[in-house]
Structure 1
């Protein structure tokens, strides 16, 4: 089972993903993609840490997500990745201009082969106007392309608004 949960900032997407993981009855492995490179991001990371159960395994992986998923994959587990848009930012800001495309392809190829249940959390970035600035436009474009491709392989796609989930694809839980 692959689930993709999308939404804007503070839409309730992470809370939904965490609640779903808690209710699964499976061993949960939480993969965090954030990097606490400034004080504000460190506060955000700390906030998320406080919300997670202490018994979850937490792994930080800002770049090589597909490799990490392959490494930690196992039966009777659920891997929650939060979030893909921070991961995309990390990839796009790397010096290697091919890294983003290569890592996204690796992720798309590995997901269907995993034994774990997967929950992917990401910010929906395509609801606003076309942004000013090359890197911002590239971020929105590449995130949107990734979401579309993930939506095709996901069993369930959910969009969160104001704390309310809307099922776009798949059965209601």
Structure 2
């Protein structure tokens, strides 16, 4: 598993696509975004246009470990774009969109960890090269609202778990990727 992290709009996706293309002719692209408005539709279209046409796409954010276990074709690699969006969608779905003041964050975090632990296990069981994109959220001020604070904390801990399990970790800044871990 190769993890690529960095800030928003840092060039993570393009860097990860280059890494995946260097290692694999065919890739299963796991897209975790939901198209909720026109602006998001444009973002998704841009991502689709920049990756090779022969890459397959699976859209979803739940039970991604099962996708890796059961949807790969022989000789195919995986690119997961992105963990942060996956966590956001899972958090919203699992909480039912309830008022953040009423949420049981320890229970929600435990649910998210089960999803991430299963993803890590699937990556470790697979012989396919797997490239995972995530956002580094912890380099700014502490958010002013409860939901955002918990999300930043959860994302940071998830990223630590992923980085610990990864064979390589890349940090992307201003479009430049720097390998920060190589096992």
Task: Judge same fold: TM > 0.5, yes or no.
Answer: yes
- Aligned partners of 1:27 and 1:76 also within 8 Å: yes
What are the equivalent positions in structure 2 for 1:81-100 lying under 5 Å apart?
Answer: 81-96=80-95, 97=108, 99-100=111-112
Q: Residues 84-121 of structure 1: CA distance to partner in whole angstroms, max 9, x if unpaired? A: 11001001111354642321222122221112110000
Q: What is the deviation of 1:74? A: 5.1
Residue 24 in structure 1 maps to residue 23 in structure 2: yes
- Mind listing any 5+ residue stretches in structure 2 that lack a counterpart? 96-107
Equivalent residue in structure 2 for 1:117, among 124, 129, 132: 129
Q: Is the 8 A contact 2:23 2:129 kept in 1?
A: no
1:32-90 CA distances to partner (integer Å, 9 max, x unpaired)? 00000122111110110111111111111122211211112455221000011100100
Which residue of 162, 170, 182 maps to 1:150? Answer: 162
TM-score, normalised on structure 1?
A: 0.91
1:91 and 1:161, CA in 2 relative to 1: closer, same or farther beyond 3 A? same
2:120 counterpart of 1:108: yes
Matches within 5 A, 1:43-58: 43-58=42-57
- Secondary structure, aligned partner of 1:94: helix
Check the 8 A contact 2:113/2:158 in 1, yes or no. no
Contact 2:33/2:86 (8 A) holds in 1 = yes
Contact 1:158 1:166 in 2 (8 A): yes
Q: What's the CA shift for 1:30?
A: 0.7
Q: Using the alignment, how far apart are the partners of 2:127 and 2:4 within structure 1?
A: 19
- Residues 1:159 and 2:175 aligned together: no
Structure with bigger gyration radius: 2
Question: Is this contact kept in 2: 1:74–1:116, CA < 8 A?
Answer: no
Greater per-residue helix proportion: 2
SS in 2 for 1:95: helix
Give the CA RMSD over aligned residues.
Answer: 1.6
How many residues align structurally?
A: 170
SS in 2 for 1:54: coil
Relative to structure 1, is the Cα distance of residues 25 and 106 closer, same or farther in structure 2, using a 3 angstrom cutoff? closer
